[in-house]
């Protein structure tokens, strides 16, 4: 990711001062403090430093730092362990002049504007508030041992993810019966997630002067049959454990051509497949291969897999998941986008998405969250952790 222009932002690299978590700071005001911490991907270190310092001050927590990922755990000898996870980074700031969803944050009545308001610093604020509650020396006894994970580089290439780093280097820190990822869901449980694969399909032609087009071969025209197949493709809706997941297969980028008077000798079409959690990665690739080959594409000669992220089954039949749904209420929904619940699923830890804020506001120029939404999420998770 190119962050050259972001280095000029006055908040980039600025130290972050978090309040004493054991003192029970207001979770909405804590969200505002987090929003004021510039943490566009690659710039998470000051916020990770502050989170580590705040968690190390809580006597009932054992804190570990792996890069810019901070993991804190209780060790109370309870029969079950749960995970609360969230990422510290945000996408780059809005570029539209006058946009309110930027850094620093701004209140408009009980609505808080700022980059990361829903994705996902309000969720991180809830995590920190719960850590302060349970981790304090005189804190209440939770129904589960708890692991908190605050990780970096979620908004960029998957291989750079701080959570993936923990999986590679210290996966034992992520052992648990159940996990909650505090991505924005408007306070509704979203089970599992769709998988997402990306493919680059290359078409080769022969360059020629466009005034003598018959001497060349137009690579862009060759892409037409694939684009027609994608236009005609009927995506499926698939029920998994009672939740309906909607799939999608779409061209997301087309590139080709070098000049206005040259027949293009190359064209690439990038395709994204969002697939339901009834499929493994291999089954998803097989389905896309079938579609491509029917459109005349040579899978082995023209197709490159550029990203492959597995889906995650809901796991709502597990006891810890069932108790969570019962505690927070509402009717669970499927997660159409990909989230890191898939990483937990690969580790054998069923996971759901549950957090404050409307996911449709994520990455927008007016990203915002309501004070009441953040408080409601905290209250729901607090009741679950303390009641069991």
Positions annotated as catalytic residues are: 89, 154
Task: Note the maximum CA span of the chain.
Answer: 83
Main-chain phi, psi angles of 84, to 5 degrees: -115, 120
Strand order from edge to edge, sheet including 69-73: 62-66, 69-73, 145-151, 81-87, 178-181, 351-353, 190-191, 333-334
Alpha-helical (H) ranges within 89-204 are 122-135, 162-170
Query: How many whole angstroms separate alpha carbon 112 and alpha carbon 201?
Result: 43
Q: Point out which residues pair with 63 in neighbouring strands.
A: 72
Residue 180 structure tokens = 């909650």
Residue 184 structure tokens = 């924005």
Alpha-helical (H) ranges within the chain are 27-35, 45-56, 122-135, 162-170, 219-222, 224-232, 281-294, 299-302, 319-328, 341-346, 371-387
């Amino acid at each position: 990711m190119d962050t050259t222009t972001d280095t000029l932002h006055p908040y980039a690299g600025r130290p972050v001062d978090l309040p004493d978590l054991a003192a029970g700071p207001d979770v909405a005001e804590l969200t505002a403090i987090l929003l004021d911490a510039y943490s566009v991907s690659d710039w998470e270190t000051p916020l990770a430093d502050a989170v580590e310092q705040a968690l190390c001050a809580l006597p009932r927590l054992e804190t570990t730092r792996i890069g810019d990922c901070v993991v804190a755990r209780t060790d109370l000898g309870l029969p079950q362990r749960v995970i609360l996870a969230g990422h510290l980074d945000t996408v780059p700031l809005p570029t539209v002049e006058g946009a309110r969803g930027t850094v620093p944050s701004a209140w408009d009545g009980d609505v808080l504007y700022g980059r990361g308001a829903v994705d996902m610093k309000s969720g991180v604020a809830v995590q920190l508030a719960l850590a302060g509650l349970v981790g304090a020396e005189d804190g209440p006894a939770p129904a589960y041992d708890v692991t908190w994970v605050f990780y970096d580089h979620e908004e960029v290439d998957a291989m750079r993810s701080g959570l993936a780093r923990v999986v590679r280097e210290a996966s034992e820190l992520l052992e648990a019966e159940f996990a909650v990822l505090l991505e924005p869901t408007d306070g509704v449980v979203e089970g599992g997630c769709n998988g997402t694969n990306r493919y680059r399909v290359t078409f080769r032609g022969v360059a020629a002067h466009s005034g003598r087009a018959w001497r060349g071969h137009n690579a862009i025209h060759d892409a037409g049959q694939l684009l027609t197949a994608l236009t005609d493709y009927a995506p499926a809706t698939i029920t998994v454990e009672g939740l309906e997941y909607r799939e999608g297969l779409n061209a997301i980028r087309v590139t080709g051509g070098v000049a206005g008077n040259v027949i293009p000798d190359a064209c690439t079409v990038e395709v994204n497949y969002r697939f339901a959690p009834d499929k493994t990665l291999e089954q998803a690739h097989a389905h896309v291969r079938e579609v491509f080959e029917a459109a005349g594409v040579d899978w082995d000669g023209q197709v490159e897999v550029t990203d492959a992220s597995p889906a995650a089954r809901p796991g709502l039949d597990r006891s810890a998941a069932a108790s969570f749904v019962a505690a927070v209420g509402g009717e669970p929904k499927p997660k159409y986008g990909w989230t890191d619940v898939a990483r937990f699923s690969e580790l054998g830890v069923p996971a759901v998405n549950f957090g404050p804020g409307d996911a449709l506001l994520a990455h927008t120029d007016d990203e915002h969250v309501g004070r009441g939404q953040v408080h409601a999420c905290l209250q729901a998770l607090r009741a679950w952790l303390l009641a069991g």
